[in-house]
Amino acid sequence: MKCRQVLIPILFFSMNAPADEANYDEAKIPEFTLPEVMRFESGEPVLTPGDWLKRRSEILDLFAVHVFGHTPESAKGHPLMASETQVIPDFLEGKAILKEVSLSFPKHDHAPVINLLLITPKGKSAAPVFLGFNFRGNHTVHADPRITLSGSWMRPDKEGRVVDHRATEKSRGTSANRWPVDKIIAQGFGLAVIYYGDIDPDFDDGFENGVHSVFGKPREDEWGSIGTWSWGLSRALDYLETDDSVDGERVAVFGHSRLGKTSLWAGAQDERFALVISNNSGCGGAALSRRAYGETVKRINTSFPHWFNDRFPSYNDDLNALPVDQHQLIALMAPRPVYVASAVEDRWADPRGEFLSAREGSAPWALFGKVGIGVEEMPETNKPVGDHVGYHVRSGKHDVTDYDWDQYIDFAKRHFQP
């Protein structure tokens, strides 16, 4: 199957528009041609599953060089020491077991400790698991007071539940609406979460803190924070593979927003993730960069200079020079299943750009006798589509809702069947 080229007419659009003037007009999207998925950089076509595996590593390397940065050699597969710090055998009124596990660097006094919270259905061994980062600490995912309050650096919140960058008791359960733990457990899945700031606090400190204190300041071709967070997900998977309550071959990596960009980059790099989910990941995640709709590459590199590598900003004003676009990031999951979700009111993340990315990235699945997204047109609101590339645009705003989780659970059930 040959990758179609997308040509969208331009009426007028200036890439030099001030960073805060986001474009929300389809008619003002610049003309562009997407880089090919199904051709090698040499121009040769990709025709067989074996070709795809080679093309896959070519694209993966391009994303490391131009967007996310390389993982430093010293960090690749770096082992962490896992210790169980708490087990609650009667979590969710006895329906689940909760475990807290600390993942630490044995020989580094100032290194961060990564706290993993694992909830698995009682009486079931080897459960498939959703693994994802949270934004405000593991104790925000569920209000049970036995969950350890995070002691890590936190961004202040408007409600004053974080004082001096430390979480307070008031913040317990405050993200529970994004993590329907009961539903996940009732459907036979486990849930593993980590506070993303345990890996690398989310502010631009010149790469001093978090895991940079172990691996050193990145060289200019090396990772930014999205790279370090992705690395953390792989280290969590190292642990999950050793835990009897988890089926290490059925771990779905999930992320919302900046953490959706992260789940995609983690899934692209680490093929042990059996399924990958991007929720409202937008620019630098599922959305096509060349559309420059809502958040642009220039804007994201200006607001968050620590997320990507040092090369990515060189494309701020010349997106057509960028050797990759985000449909190729979706393609990197092939032949594994991947789900992309948008929200109608989340225009900043460009729902249509996320759909087009899922569609244009779908070609490699055909080489494996599988269907990717399987549709041409963007579906109606709240009408999920897709086979190995799932997609929906739900009503509402930038968030994670029960509706989103219902689709992820259905999708995972479909693909995790023995």
H/E stretch holding 391: strand 389-394
Give 217 or 397: the residue with its C-beta nearer to ligand GTR. 397
Shortest CB 393 distance to ligand GTR, Å: 17
Of 46, 26, 27, nearest to 36 by C-alpha is: 46
Q: Is 294 in the site for ligand GTR (CB under 6 A)?
A: no
C-beta of residue 264 within 8 angstroms of C-beta of residue 253: no
* Residue 107 CB, nearest approach to ligand GTR (Å): 33
- What is the closest distance, in whole angstroms, from the C-beta atom of residue 301 to ligand GTR in the complex? 11
> The tokens of 90 are what?
């009667």
Rounded to whole angstroms, what are the CA distances from 415 to 189, 328, 365, 388? 13, 22, 14, 8
Question: For ligand GTR, which is the closer residue by CB, 266 or 283?
Answer: 283
Taking CB under 6 A as the rule, does residue 257 contact ligand GTR? Answer: yes
**Judging by beta carbons within 10 Å of its beta carbon (0-12, 13-18, 19+), is residue 95 exposed, middle or buried?**
middle
**Catalytic residue status for 398:** yes
Residue 283 within binding range of ligand GTR, rule CB under 6 A:
yes
Q: Is 282 in the site for ligand GTR (CB under 6 A)?
A: yes
- Confirm whether 257 is a catalytic residue: yes
CB count within 10 Å of CB 266 equals 26
Determine which residue in the list 184, 300, 322, 400 makes contact with ligand GTR, applying CB under 6 A: 300
Closer residue to ligand GTR in complex, CB, 245/278: 278
Is the backbone of residue 49 left (phi > 0), alpha (psi -120 to 50) or beta? alpha
For residue 254, list its beta bridge partners: 132, 277
For residue 239 the two structure tokens come to 């642990």
Q: Which residues in 42-101 contact ligand GTR (CB under 6 A)? A: none
**Minimum CB separation from ligand GTR for residue 303, in Å?**
6
Which residue out of 230, 234, 257, 362 is catalytically annotated? 257
Under the binding rule (CB under 6 A), the answer on residue 258 touching ligand GTR is yes
> What residues make contact with ligand GTR under the rule CB under 6 A?
257-258, 282-283, 295, 300, 303
Show which residues are catalytic.
Answer: 257, 398
